[in-house]
Amino acid sequence: MPKPKVIAIVGPTASGKSALGIWLAKKINGEIISADSRQVYKGLNIATGKVTKKEMQGVKHHLLDVVSPKKQFSVDDFIKHADRACSNILQNDRTILVVGGTGLYVDMLLGRMSYPQVPPKPTLRKKLEKKSAVQLYALLQKIDPARAKTIEKQNPRRLVRAIEIAKALGKNPPANPEPKYEVLWLGLSPTPEKLKKNIRIRLFSRIGAGMIAEAKKLHAGGLSYKRMEQLGLEYRYLARLLQNKLTKQEFKLQLEREINQYAKRQMRWFVRNKDINWVGNKSEALLHVKNFLRAMEESNLH
């Protein structure tokens, strides 16, 4: 029985994954599964750069606006929702494209890592939650240095879960020996200078588009500053700005620096995957896709 084929488009933030995904999906009758740990939340639109209806150009997207930002959405939740979306896409005789920069989500879904069957340990969590992000990161570095290199080090929730898994399993989960899908990996990796420029342009256009007002509205609607901090990246700095812990200038400088560091962590994660075909433009990506789909069709005939 041939495995379902999936095209994965990965890379750091602001590298152009969404635009490439939509362009390819239109060419090959595909639907997109978003693999982004913040875009699953309703109302987190401008700051996360969530693709708009207009930008989708009629291409169906899954795993956007799944849950309230007041709730936690785990890797386990993502896998369940994404597997269901994959089944629906295949039933509609469409091609699956997984597009996103949350490496853990992509790798777990597509079988590069097996999902750690480690239940939460309330006693350990209670103890760990008293520690600062800096202390948690130092502990993770000690027990699982490989995971420490790729984690968002200011995200206490992720750090606590990583420590929980490392303590139970000794380290990160190994690769899954039997992936469910046949995957073509495509990666976007602009030069560091280009990426820095993209990040800056995108951040300032989001500020101009009203991301601060959006955060105010989310808070007025009951999203606590504590929860915003947990959501990480943009929301951590928006929470600090709205509480007057940062000036507008400090907010811009610190957030831009943090996004650049995040992009570097994303790249460290993805370069470990030797199956990724790093592409420089759309036509190069399309060539890979056509060859992949043709080869799959030929092998299905034999």
Cβ atoms 206, 49 nearer than 8 A: yes
Single out the residue in 140, 172, 204 at which a domain terminates. 172
Q: Is residue 212 part of a domain?
A: yes
Sheet containing strand 277-279, strands side by side: 61-62, 30-34, 95-99, 5-10, 182-188, 277-279
Distances (CA, A) of 184 to 110, 176, 187, 206, 289: 10, 17, 10, 32, 7
* 198 assigned to some structural domain: yes
The whole-number average pLDDT for the span 208-233 is 96
- Which residue type sits at 63? L
Residue 158 placed within a domain: yes
114 contact partners, CB below 8 Å, separation of at least 6? 108, 173, 174, 175, 176, 177
Inside any domain, residue 252: yes
Residue 222 lies in a domain: yes
Q: Are 250 and 212 within one domain?
A: yes
> What pLDDT sits at residue 291?
95
Domain finish residue from 225, 240, 261: 261
186: in domain: no
Statement to judge: residues 210 and 159 lie in one domain: no
Residue 155 β-bridge partners: none
**Do 244 and 206 share a domain, yes or no?**
yes
Q: Which of 137, 172, 207 is the last residue of a domain?
A: 172
Mean pLDDT of all residues in 221-229: 96
In this structure, is residue 201 part of a structural domain? yes
DSSP letter at 67 equals B
Of 98 and 173, more confident: 98
Average pLDDT score, the chain? 92
Domain that holds residue 159: 116-172
**Orientation of helix 211-220 relative to helix 192-209, angle to 10°:** 60
pLDDT(9) > 90: yes
CB 12 within 8 Å of CB 266: yes
Residues 200, 252: one domain? yes
CATH number of the domain that residue 152 is part of: 1.10.20
Q: Work out the percent of the chain whose per-residue pLDDT is above 90.
A: 77
- Model confidence, pTM: 0.85
Q: Is residue 209 part of a domain?
A: yes
Structure tokens belonging to residue 250: 């400090």
Same domain, 149 and 197: no
- Please give the angle made by the CA atoms of 119, 124 and 130, to the nearest 5 degrees: 130
Q: Which residues pair with 67 in a beta bridge?
A: 41
DSSP state at residue 278: E
- Residue-wise pLDDT for 86-138, tens only, equals 999 999 999 999 999 999 999 999 998 876 667 788 899 999 989 998 999 99
Q: Please give the tally of structural domains in the chain.
A: 2
Q: What is the mean pLDDT of residues 191-200?
A: 97
The pLDDT value given to residue 298: 67
